[in-house]
């Protein structure tokens, strides 16, 4: 019986998976899930770009046992919805535990969501400045100026 393997884009970026030698081309917008066959997955896992996207928390793979996955994902994986919920609730405690060990994709998502939501809480913006090196208040001001 064929396993059902799914790949989900858990970042805020659009991800393209392209393996021309097996005629595999998929574009994954944020939160999009695709099903792949075992053969397609095993070709993907041998691609260093795909492995990096899994390791850096851009993509999540489901449907495999832990010992079947070639790429080991370190730390807890936070999806865009998890990060959005933290920012909506202004949960400073959870955010302070999450951000120091956040993967690059998660940091990009934090910045995008904080600017889009207009987060101005000093504790959260200070943590973003420290760990992501982005001044959210300035980014929000630039966004408003661009929209005028």
What is the Cα–Cα distance from 68 to 80, expressed in whole angstroms? Answer: 26
Stretch (H or E) spanning 33: strand 33-36
Give pLDDT tens digits for 9-53. 999 999 999 989 889 999 999 999 999 998 898 889 888 899 889
- Residue pair 40/22 in contact by the 8 Å Cβ criterion: yes
Mean pLDDT of 58-70: 76
| Beta carbons within 10 angstroms of residue 139's beta carbon | 16
Give pLDDT tens digits for 110-119. 999 999 999 9
Residues pairing with 143 in the sheet: none
- Residue pair 80/33 in contact by the 8 Å Cβ criterion: no
Regarding pTM above 0.85, the answer is: no
What is the Cα–Cα distance from 53 to 143, expressed in whole angstroms? Answer: 28
Pairwise pLDDT comparison (69 vs 81), residue with the higher score: 81
Using left for φ > 0, alpha for ψ between -120 and 50, and beta otherwise, residue 4 falls in beta
Residue 70 pLDDT: 56
Residues pairing with 5 in the sheet: 36
């Amino acid at each position: 019986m064929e396993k059902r393997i799914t790949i989900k884009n858990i970042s805020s970026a659009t991800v393209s998976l392209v393996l021309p030698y097996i005629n595999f081309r998929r574009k994954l917008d944020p939160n999009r899930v695709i099903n792949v066959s075992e053969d397609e997955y095993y070709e993907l896992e041998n691609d260093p770009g795909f492995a990096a996207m899994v390791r850096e928390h851009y993509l999540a793979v489901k449907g495999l046992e832990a010992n079947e996955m070639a790429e080991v994902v370190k730390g807890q994986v936070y999806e865009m919805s998890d990060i959005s919920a933290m920012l909506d609730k202004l949960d400073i405690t959870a955010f302070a535990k999450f951000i120091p060990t956040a993967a690059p994709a998660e940091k990009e998502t934090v910045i995008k969501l904080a600017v889009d939501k207009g987060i101005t809480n000093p504790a959260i913006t200070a943590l973003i400045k420290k760990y992501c090196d982005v001044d959210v208040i300035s980014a929000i001001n630039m966004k408003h100026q661009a929209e005028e």
